[in-house]
Structure 1
Amino acid sequence: MNSRKPDHNYAFGLVLRDLRLQSGYSQERLGFDAGYDRTYISLLERGLCSPTLDTVVSLCSVLNVTLIEAFSSVESKLEELDASRPDPT
C-alpha cells in the first residue's frame, strides 16, 4: 500500500455495515447484543470513531466472524479504496 492511505476507520465502517447487513442485524440489535448503543454502531459504520480491540472482538463475536476474517476484509477494503483514488501526478 502506498502513502495515500484511505481512512482505516472508514474502511472498518464499510466492512462492519456489510457484515451487519449480511447477518440480518439492525444497528439497534447489533448494538444491544454487543453491549453498545445504536448511535455508537452508527458512528462506527460511518467511520467517525475508532473502535477499541475489545469493541472489535465483541462485534465479531455477535456477527460470528473471526478477527482474521474481519481484519482481512478491512485490509481488502483499504486496498479497494486506495485503488479507486485518482493518482495525484
Structure 2
Amino acid sequence: MSEQHADVTLHVSIDDPQALWDRAVQQLRADGVLASGELGDDEIGMIGTREEPDLSGCLRMILDPGTSPDGMTINDSSVEIY
C-alpha cells in the first residue's frame, strides 16, 4: 500500500478558557513536562497563564498527542483562533 495523506480538522467552541488552561496543565503533568507544582517560563510560553491563557497553545497541548500513533506520522499541528 502506498503512503496516503490526510488533513484532520476539529472545530470547537471554548466555553471556559480557565478550565481549558487547567486541562492543559493536567496534560503537561501527564506528559511529564511539568514535574513541580509551579509553571516555569517554558510552560507559560506554551499555554500562557490561567488569567491569560494561550488558547492555541492549550488546544495543541490537549489535542495533539505528540507521539504519533502506530501506522501514521503526525507531520504538524496548528490551531487558528477566530
TM-score normalized by structure 2?
0.37
Higher radius of gyration, 1 or 2: 2
User: Larger relative contact order (C-alpha < 8 A, sep ≥ 6)?
Assistant: 1
- More helix by percentage: 1
